[in-house]
Amino acid sequence: MTFEQLASLLLAFASLLVTVLGVGIGVMALWGYAQFKTMVEESSEKAAVRKVDEDIKGGELRRHIEFVVTTFLERGARDGSLSALLEARREEADRLSQVDAGWEEIPEEGPNA
């Protein structure tokens, strides 16, 4: 085996080794990214739940909800949209009551019994 043949064989082996290492590092990077993404999602979900629990226990969330509802009701009372909304809900409740009454007229054993 001549020096040129040995050098080309060593270079081919080195390039193969670098290729295998590159593919291995790429696969590990994808796996690491997936693990990191999962870890971040779980961590952020836990942090969000913890924050909402703290806000509920501290009363801050309750005060905010009360403020929003009160503002909505006051604005609706001033411009008349609240009474229209209540009327629409009453009509919807009446229609649902009629549907419920219709179900009561159907025999329990069904039409094929």
Query: Residue 99 corresponds to which amino acid?
Result: V
Q: How many CB atoms lie within 10 A of CB 13?
A: 10
- Residue-level length of the chain: 113
* Predicted confidence (pLDDT) per residue in 3-56, tens digit: 999 999 999 999 999 999 999 999 999 999 999 999 999 999 999 999 888 888
Predicted TM-score of the model (pTM): 0.43
Q: What is the DSSP letter of 74?
A: H
What is the C-alpha to C-alpha distance for residues 72 and 68, in angstroms, rounded to an integer?
6
* Domain map (residue ranges) of the chain: 24-58, 59-98
